[in-house]
Structure 1
Amino acid sequence: MDIKDQGMSVHDEVIDKKPIYHDAVGTVHLVDGTDEIVLIPTPAPDPRDPLNLPQWRKWLVTITLGLFSITSVLITSGLGAILTDVQAYYDYDPRVSDLMTYPTLFMGVGNLIAMPLAMAVGRRPVFLASALVLVIGSIWCAASGSLGSHIAGRDILSMAAGQSEALCPLIIQEIHFLHERSSTLAWFSAIQSIGTAALLISSTYLTQSLGWKWWYGVFGIVNGLILALSFLFVPESRYDRPTDAFEGAVHIHQLGGDDRIERATTHHSVVLDLVRYKPRTLKNDLQIFHGSTDWRAFVTCWKQMIQCFLFPNILWVVLMNSTVLGIYVVMVTEYAGILVQPPYNFAFTTLGYVQTGQIAVALIMIPVLGYGGDFLTRKLAERKGGMSESENRLIPLIIPVIIVIGSCVFFGRAGSDPEAWSPWTIIVTYSAEYFGFISIVLLGYTYSLDSYPERAGPILVLICAVRGFISFGISYGVTKFVAQLGYASALNVCAIVFGVVSAFGLPVFFFGKKIRSKTMRWAVDNKDLNVE
């Protein structure tokens, strides 16, 4: 929504040419006293501001987005659970592997197209269009009459499924405040992980009963229901704010009067203004398009993506995400082959139950890194006179970094010498690496969004698209990589590479504030808020 649509005007010139942030973007006053938390971003007195949605509605949005992400991840990445049936159907055509490798590439492509579009026309129309394409793509794959058509259908639906990685977290970020961001994103990730794992377990039984085409058919019907829920419950979350709203204190320049500062806390939130603003209504919520379309924002998003990629701290976050995903691709590609062979001899139908470990680690992540991360951020802010630094979000990274390195070492040794190791070594380390993966994704999101709140969209696209492209490249070379080096050596290489990338987090942590200060000129829009 444009500021002018709120009954406010904007000066042609910004009064102060210096950035509104007094120190560095991402350094904010979060805590007043001992128990009063500043609401960041500062909500407007507008009932249609998404930050003013009631808490139950915000949870309903988060759950709906989580359901969308479950089927998105399942249809694009879960085909491995029924791949043997698909291979047999196509007489073991080697091109069947394209059904597994290309979706990650097209998820990245989908992010690069959809996110700039969402910046131009709004989040709601792009999300609903993606949900619709996911339904159409599922039907396409179920009705495909050739392998080529099947591959094309999966590529199309993967472009839509990519919105579960970037657009969904962006919407969640835009309807929640900074102090609750980690926990809500953790819940979103947990819903995705638990739902996907449960459906992966059921996929083998569904395919055995109805055939692999009905695997697409059933989830196509489910996607149709999710589309209906999304239309009803996911509102537009785009809302144009002045820059200092992201600092927690809006400086309102009253033309012809004294300026004032508008702040809001958990104890003293903004009072909704029903005189100057329209109330939130069901009719308004159900509209597809809200506000004006700004095609310049489409180009600007691409420009900002390039700028943010050159920020040292964001580049490091992208590399961390890409490296841990690469390790997960290695493990998810190889764990089944290890378990079905002697001496473990797992039955094919029991492999799905290995995914129950992902349910367990998702439940662990919510209190430890979700609520725990928000709690740590508040407590550290209290110790520093209420000031919060975004680098505080990086402290919990110590846990997943240690877990991922340990998982690589033990997974590699068990794969190389299964006679000497229990199958539980493979199962536990595979699940532990998944914990590391989703934890690093969560902490990377929260750190980046806290550091550069006005660049949330471009940064999320960078993280998701780059790791998707890297995953696509790795998926082609995993088997050869492991065959040449052996499990132990291959996973040792993974551990060393990940350890080196992780070590660069130390200068990011200690010099992050200086980095944010130096890059602030490219990350702050300097929007003022002025009223008649």
Structure 2
Amino acid sequence: MGTVILTQDDSLSDQYLSNLKRGTGRHQDIILTPQPSDDPNDPMNWPYYQKILIVAVVVFGACLCASTNGPLLNASLFILAVEFQRPITDFTVLSGYQLLVAGASGPIISAAARKYGKRPVFLFSSFACLIGSIIGSVSTTYNMLLAAKIIAGLSIAAYESIIFTVVGDLFFVHERGLYTALMSFTLTCVSNLSSVVTGRITNDLGWHYLFHILDACVGLQLVLTFFLVPETCYLRDPALSAVLQVTEEREKNQVKTGETREMEASVASLQTPRKTYLQRLAVFTGSYTDESLIRLVVAPFASCLNVVALWTVIITGAVTSFYVAVAFVIAQLFSPPPYNLTAAGVGYMSLGPFIGGALGCLLVGALMDPLTIWLTKRNHGVYEPEFRLPLVAIGVLCGAGLFGFGSLADTQGSIYAIAFMWGLALFGISFIVGPCSAYAIDAYRSISDEIFIANIMFKNFLFYGYSYFVNNWTASAGTAPVFYTFGGIAFGLTATTVIVYIFGKQYRAFWARHNLMDKLGMEGRLGM
């Protein structure tokens, strides 16, 4: 599981690999994984420009429904507290309830996407965000704002989790690192840029305009999703991936031959016509599994029976939650004296994490696939998903940034230095979330949907918990104890990557022999 032949060296005979499809241009020596079928409706065979267009629209949706929708009011919390004459914690809890809905709806979103495809789930999520935003734009009471945030919370799960598995639907293993990094950038960095913009809008036009503008943007994204994002789920013959799976004999520089040839013959398919554009506009394109919805709803919980999947959920969810904890207290710390920042000023502080996160994601995207290919060639052409993980070492900067933020904010240091430390934390988070997400897709592709849903449940429940106590904890204890605690946990979690890198392959082999999800009838049938 996960270990495949990606490049060919002298130990691999042309007799068995010469008929396999390969990349083009500078990747012409790369054996495509998974092997695309001969079906023109296979997303792997779609024109590259169409794949990019799909990713662009889905990323636009993630920017709005997750990265903007969630922190929409963060820079305005102090102003809302004054206007409604309620404690600032009440407005932090607004986001908490929204994130609670996002986490609780995750298993249902996962089940629907697995059974009926991703297209209807994306359309529903964009529509929910639009309805919630419209309610917010006409809100005049606290309860109307609460209703708006709860309804909009239904849009978050798909755009925080399923977007990662779209990468696996559309791109080959050697291409996924860049696009996984792009998704990570969208979720960890764009929310900071949105805070810069929303703070200025609140300052100049009032907080209602946050929703007015979001109405228009989400409406456009919903239209683009309907017309430009077809269904990316595809029932791939397992043999298309199995022909590249490395068997135990490969450890002796041999490839299983007879069975491989039978599989290659079995995947030769009849030519089928490409669906027309109107056919691709269908919202529902059939069922992609025979499993019941109830069993699929339980599957994200069951995926955590896989220890490495659970590790992925915890490490990526926890470090992301530490960044959100900072966002929860920014208005509380810097709106009152001695800083006296306006809503726009609070928003501008998010430039630090935006720049840090953007640089991190750019470097992750630039380094991950080349590093993976280099390590694969050093490994005699055999790709191991663990090759995604060395970059996580740079994730120690997440802990360093949290320590720096806590210390400087506690001593009322320079606002620019504080923003830099927040950015350093996001820089480090990029090197944790991107590689670990790519690892989950490649090592456990068949349960990757469930892993990412479990991840958003975990982190959104953390966010909900933070909304109740992090502001009060910071007010009573000061920022240093709070963010030293978060930073220390980040250091510890980053260190555990060494264990997964060393023993990940052995555990994948163990899971292949003792797959608890398969025994429970919940294992997916996706290819690499």
Band of TM-score, shorter chain: 0.7 to 0.9
Tell me which residue corresponds to 1:43.
36
Question: Which amino acid in the other structure matches residue 28 of structure 1?
Answer: V
Tell me which residue corresponds to 1:17.
none
Deviations 1:466-488 (A, max 9, x none): 11111211232212333444322
Q: Provide the C-alpha distance between the structure 2 equivalents of 1:442 and 1:138, rounded to a whole number of angstroms.
A: 30
Structure 1 residues 128, 392: closer, same or farther in 2, change over 3 A?
same
1:451 equivalent to 2:443? Answer yes
Structure 1 residues 304, 245: closer, same or farther in 2, change over 3 A?
farther
Cα drift, residue 52 of structure 1: 1.1
Q: Provide the C-alpha distance between the structure 1 equivalents of 2:77 and 2:486, rounded to a whole number of angstroms.
A: 26
Native 8 Å contact 2:200 2:343 kept in 1 = no
Q: With structure 2 as the length reference, what TM-score do the two structures score?
A: 0.85
> Which of 76, 91, 96 is 2:70 aligned to?
76
> Which of 201, 205, 211 is 1:206 aligned to?
201
Structure 1 residues 321, 336: closer, same or farther in 2, change over 3 A?
same
Question: Which amino acid in the other structure matches residue 512 of structure 2?
Answer: M
Tell me which residue corresponds to 2:460.
468
Structure 1 residues 31, 300: closer, same or farther in 2, change over 3 A?
farther
Structure 1 residues 487, 248: closer, same or farther in 2, change over 3 A?
farther
1:261 equivalent to 2:264? Answer yes
Instruction: Name stretches of at least 5 consecutive residues in structure 1 with no aligned partner.
Output: 1-24, 252-257, 264-269
Tell me which residue corresponds to 2:286.
291
Structure 1 residues 247, 472: closer, same or farther in 2, change over 3 A?
farther
Tell me which residue corresponds to 1:30.
6
Question: Which amino acid in the other structure matches residue 7 of structure 2?
Answer: V
Tell me which residue corresponds to 1:267.
none
- SS for the counterpart of 2:284 is coil
- SS for the counterpart of 1:463 is helix
Q: Provide the C-alpha distance between the structure 2 equivalents of 1:205 and 1:415, rounded to a whole number of angstroms.
A: 23
Deviations 1:121-151 (A, max 9, x none): 1111111111111111111222235322321
Cα drift, residue 516 of structure 1: 0.8
Question: Which amino acid in the other structure matches residue 72 of structure 2?
Answer: G
Tell me which residue corresponds to 1:10.
none
Deviations 1:251-276 (A, max 9, x none): 9xxxxxx835279xxxxxx99x7x63
Q: Provide the C-alpha distance between the structure 1 equivalents of 2:304 and 2:200, rounded to a whole number of angstroms.
A: 44
Cα drift, residue 337 of structure 1: 3.9
Tell me which residue corresponds to 1:441.
433
> Which of 23, 45, 64 is 1:52 aligned to?
45
Deviations 1:44-70 (A, max 9, x none): 111111111111111111111111111
RMSD: 2.8
Single out whichever of 85-94 and 352-361 deviates more from structure 2.
85-94
Tell me which residue corresponds to 1:3.
none
Q: Provide the C-alpha distance between the structure 1 equivalents of 2:480 and 2:80, rounded to a whole number of angstroms.
A: 31
1:179 equivalent to 2:174? Answer yes
Q: Provide the C-alpha distance between the structure 1 equivalents of 2:302 and 2:191, rounded to a whole number of angstroms.
A: 34
1:226 equivalent to 2:221? Answer yes
1:411 equivalent to 2:405? Answer yes
Tell me which residue corresponds to 2:21.
none
Q: Provide the C-alpha distance between the structure 1 equivalents of 2:219 and 2:438, rounded to a whole number of angstroms.
A: 31
Structure 1 residues 312, 303: closer, same or farther in 2, change over 3 A?
same
Instruction: Name stretches of at least 5 consecutive residues in structure 2 with no aligned partner.
Output: 10-26, 247-260
1:240 equivalent to 2:243? Answer no
Native 8 Å contact 2:447 2:524 kept in 1 = no
Give me the identity figure in percent: 25
Native 8 Å contact 2:161 2:453 kept in 1 = yes
> Which of 473, 482, 489 is 1:481 aligned to?
473
Cα drift, residue 313 of structure 1: 1.3
Tell me which residue corresponds to 2:86.
92
- SS for the counterpart of 1:31 is coil
Native 8 Å contact 1:130 1:161 kept in 2 = yes
Tell me which residue corresponds to 1:163.
158
1:357 equivalent to 2:352? Answer yes
Native 8 Å contact 1:138 1:157 kept in 2 = yes
Cα drift, residue 397 of structure 1: 0.2
Native 8 Å contact 2:118 2:231 kept in 1 = yes
Native 8 Å contact 2:128 2:155 kept in 1 = yes
Q: Provide the C-alpha distance between the structure 2 equivalents of 1:208 and 1:199, rounded to a whole number of angstroms.
A: 14
Single out whichever of 324-333 and 48-57 deviates more from structure 2.
324-333
Deviations 1:243-294 (A, max 9, x none): 343456499xxxxxx835279xxxxxx99x7x63121321122111113365
Which structure is richer in relative contact order (CA contacts within 8 A, separation 6 or more)?
1
Structure 1 residues 41, 104: closer, same or farther in 2, change over 3 A?
same
Q: Provide the C-alpha distance between the structure 2 equivalents of 1:214 and 1:344, rounded to a whole number of angstroms.
A: 26
Q: Provide the C-alpha distance between the structure 2 equivalents of 1:483 and 1:196, rounded to a whole number of angstroms.
A: 24
- SS for the counterpart of 1:259 is helix
Native 8 Å contact 2:74 2:195 kept in 1 = no
Question: Which amino acid in the other structure matches residue 400 of structure 2?
Answer: G
Cα drift, residue 38 of structure 1: 1.7
Cα drift, residue 92 of structure 1: 2.4
Q: Provide the C-alpha distance between the structure 1 equivalents of 2:198 and 2:524, rounded to a whole number of angstroms.
A: 51
- SS for the counterpart of 1:466 is helix
Single out whichever of 379-388 and 466-475 deviates more from structure 2.
466-475
Q: Provide the C-alpha distance between the structure 2 equivalents of 1:262 and 1:369, rounded to a whole number of angstroms.
A: 39
Native 8 Å contact 1:40 1:247 kept in 2 = no
Native 8 Å contact 1:243 1:526 kept in 2 = no
Single out whichever of 88-97 and 352-361 deviates more from structure 2.
88-97
Q: Provide the C-alpha distance between the structure 2 equivalents of 1:60 and 1:35, rounded to a whole number of angstroms.
A: 24
Native 8 Å contact 2:409 2:480 kept in 1 = yes
Structure 1 residues 125, 464: closer, same or farther in 2, change over 3 A?
same
> Which of 472, 496, 504 is 1:504 aligned to?
496
Structure 1 residues 175, 223: closer, same or farther in 2, change over 3 A?
same
Q: With structure 1 as the length reference, what TM-score do the two structures score?
A: 0.84
> Which of 463, 485, 493 is 1:493 aligned to?
485
Cα drift, residue 221 of structure 1: 1.4
Structure 1 residues 364, 352: closer, same or farther in 2, change over 3 A?
same
- SS for the counterpart of 1:77 is coil
Cα drift, residue 341 of structure 1: 5.1
Native 8 Å contact 2:102 2:153 kept in 1 = yes
1:325 equivalent to 2:301? Answer no
Cα drift, residue 354 of structure 1: 1.9
Q: Provide the C-alpha distance between the structure 2 equivalents of 1:107 and 1:195, rounded to a whole number of angstroms.
A: 18
Deviations 1:2-42 (A, max 9, x none): xxxxxxxxxxxxxxxxxxxxxxx111111124951121122
Tell me which residue corresponds to 2:20.
none
Question: Which amino acid in the other structure matches residue 423 of structure 2?
Answer: S
- SS for the counterpart of 1:78 is coil
Tell me which residue corresponds to 1:254.
none
Question: Which amino acid in the other structure matches residue 262 of structure 2?
Answer: D
Q: How many residues align?
A: 488
Structure 1 residues 215, 491: closer, same or farther in 2, change over 3 A?
closer
Cα drift, residue 347 of structure 1: 4.2
Question: Which amino acid in the other structure matches residue 303 of structure 2?
Answer: C
Structure 1 residues 141, 295: closer, same or farther in 2, change over 3 A?
farther
1:279 equivalent to 2:274? Answer yes
Cα drift, residue 364 of structure 1: 1.9
